[in-house]
Structure 1
Amino acid sequence: MNIVVLGPGAIGALWASHLKSSGHNVSLWGRSSTEQTVIQLDDSPEQSFPNQNAQALHEADLLLVTVKVWQVKSAFTPLLSSISKDCIIVFMHNGMGAVDELKAELSPFPVLLATTTHGALKTSSSKVSHTGKGATQIGPYNAQGARCEFITEVLNHSLPSVQWNSDIEKALWQKLAINCAINPLTAIEQCNNGQLAESRYQASLAAVIQEVTSVIQAEEITLSYDELHKTVAVVIEATKTNYSSMRQDIFYQRKSEIDFITGYLLKTAKRHHINTPENDKLYQAIKQIESSWINHD
């Protein structure tokens, strides 16, 4: 397939490398205007990819969007007029709400949503490390996307395991719950995920998960508090040495994904008239840290 990866950060570079290694024709669309971009995955040989190639974009069968959630609209919109209406668009990012902002523009295309638990870290501009093997779920955003289940096999052949999930909304909410629990706390405390297993964090985690459960159930999605609490505990243990993306963003004074993680939860809670004091407290704490850089600058 002709594949373009929009946003070759850690996860984008990981997928680009695996897709190219399995025989696909892969191009990148990154911020750099250089014609070629080099990626070296772990100890594998370097791979060279065309970058910002208009012809490759026009001929793309698949556009994999892996930019940060808050960059989705600004990165994707300028490319709209260059993409074939047959091109399958896959959005793979943390957080929720960004794709909904583009619903009208996306209506002609087959659109899929994906969530992955693979871990990746960019250690330099060209080097990426696969820090944790995981699984990817993918499912339809619209009716055209529902006809594209075959893409699961394409992706699974490149970076397993990939599963089709016709109820992708449930999987995305589950991922949002994990992110609401882990990301803001690790960013505020500047700790790795494993430290959240300490007793001093349990009351906050329980409150966050309870509030998220109330919102999820108001959205008529069947996930219980016990399920989510157990899942969060499993993720904390499985990723105990990892730093969350939000912790990294706050550490390096970069804009975080808080508006599309906890912020999305708060908006949805408000719609259902549900109080979420613990999530609200964490949201305000992250926003305060971010605004302190702006004020300091």
Structure 2
Amino acid sequence: MNITVIGQGAIGLLWYHRLAQNLNNHVSLLCSARITSVPQATKFTDIDDNTSSKALIPANNQILRHAELILCCVKSYHVVEAIASLKNRIDVNAIVIYCHNGMVDFNQLPDLSQACYTLLTTHGSKIIQPFHVQHTGLGHNDLGLIYGSIQQKKQAQVVKALATALPSLTLSHHIKEKQWLKLAINCVINPLTAIDNIENGQLLQQKYSIIIDKLLAEIISVANKEDIIFSFEDLKNQVLDVAEKTAKNCSSMRSDILKKRKTEIDYINGYIANTAKKIGISVPEHEKLIQQVRALEVK
């Protein structure tokens, strides 16, 4: 399968390497325009701490025209820009998959005629140095169609390619619910760990219980208006379960703050706050965290 991965971040490089391990795939990488020097090879450290190198195949216009699958792995605030750069450069039958944190308003995206999916992953990865990624934790992928239509045979081909590269994978017909669950977990873990500069597992301490409860209550009230129904106890248990399973991890938002990068707060807690405003619900705890994270961002 002809596949182009967009983004040289941790998730983009993880998918690039794993997909390229299948010799039936022809995989290229479309780097950010901000990257002025692209190396001839990338490095990959697998889950067992083995490091290997692979030639980097940069995506050019000719490669993009023949791409069957476009896997967009960029920060939420770069999604619109990344998709706009594809306009008139990819085939109408190419499939676009979005893999990012937070929630993007797809009504803001450039008008594409392609079938579009969202991909949610719990696999862990981190950048050791530019163009060297490490697979830090095994996880699961959920894939769901969010726009357009696709032949079943083609969909099966996409699922097989992704599931072979990074097992395991579920094709979901209720991807919106899974998006909201991931959003809820991120709304708690990301800002709290970023603000207090702590590892995920430290959120299990009793002192965080009250703020977690308040955040979840606000999320549930907003989600209800979007026809997404959460049980408070179930949702809290899932948040704490993720915090426990990723106890030693540094959240992506904390990592962004430590590396003096812009965070995705506007697409995580900001999505809750913006949705709440539209439907007339107050979410003061989310608003407070948004302001605290923005104060930590490098201006």
Class of the TM-score when normalised by the shorter of the 2 chains: over 0.9
Q: Which residue of 1 aligns with 2:7?
A: 7
Q: Which moved more, 1:84-93 or 1:25-34?
A: 25-34
Q: Which residue of 1 aligns with 2:67?
A: 60
The question of 1:226 aligning with 2:233 is answered yes
% identical aligned pairs? 36
RMSD: 1.5
Q: Deviations over 1:91-139 (max 9, x none)?
A: 000010243311x512x11100111000100101132111110000000
The question of 1:111 aligning with 2:112 is answered no
User: Out of 175, 178, 183, which is 1:176 matched to?
Assistant: 183
Q: 1:72 touches 1:99 (CA, 8 Å); kept in 2?
A: no
Whole-angstrom distance in 2 between the partners of 1:145 and 1:253? 41
More helix by share: 1
Question: Which aligned pairs between 1:1-297 and structure 2 lie closer than 5 A?
Answer: 1-23=1-23, 24-31=25-32, 32-34=35-37, 37-42=40-45, 43-102=50-109, 105-106=111-112, 108-145=113-150, 147=152, 149-150=155-156, 151-290=158-297, 293-294=298-299
Could you tell me how far 1:39 is from its partner in structure 2? 2.0
Could you tell me how far 1:208 is from its partner in structure 2? 0.5
Q: Deviations over 1:250-297 (max 9, x none)?
A: 11111000001011111111122111111111011112222xx32xxx
Equivalenced residues, count: 290
Whole-angstrom distance in 1 between the partners of 2:120 and 2:249? 18
Whole-angstrom distance in 2 between the partners of 1:272 and 1:224? 21
Could you tell me how far 1:37 is from its partner in structure 2? 4.4
Could you tell me how far 1:35 is from its partner in structure 2? 6.1
Q: 1:36 touches 1:50 (CA, 8 Å); kept in 2?
A: no
Could you tell me how far 1:73 is from its partner in structure 2? 1.1
Whole-angstrom distance in 2 between the partners of 1:223 and 1:118? 24
Q: Deviations over 1:31-63 (max 9, x none)?
A: 235565422211242001211422111110000
Q: Deviations over 1:139-178 (max 9, x none)?
A: 0111325855312222101110011011111111000000
Q: Which moved more, 1:151-160 or 1:236-245?
A: 151-160
Secondary structure of 1:166 counterpart: coil
Q: Deviations over 1:181-218 (max 9, x none)?
A: 00001110011101111111111111111111111111
Q: Tell me, which stretches of 5 or more residues in structure 2 are unaligned?
A: none
Q: Which moved more, 1:27-36 or 1:228-237?
A: 27-36
Q: 1:262 touches 1:283 (CA, 8 Å); kept in 2?
A: yes
Secondary structure of 2:254 counterpart: helix
Whole-angstrom distance in 2 between the partners of 1:9 and 1:244? 15
Q: What TM-score do you get using the length of structure 2 for normalisation?
A: 0.93
Q: Which moved more, 1:71-80 or 1:198-207?
A: 71-80
Q: 2:114 touches 2:148 (CA, 8 Å); kept in 1?
A: no
Q: Tell me, which stretches of 5 or more residues in structure 1 are unaligned?
A: none
Q: What TM-score do you get using the length of structure 1 for normalisation?
A: 0.93
Q: Deviations over 1:53-92 (max 9, x none)?
A: 2211111000000010101111221221101010000000
After TM superposition, the runs of 4+ consecutive aligned structure 1 residues lying more than 6 A away are: none
Letter in 2 for 1:163: T
Secondary structure of 2:67 counterpart: coil
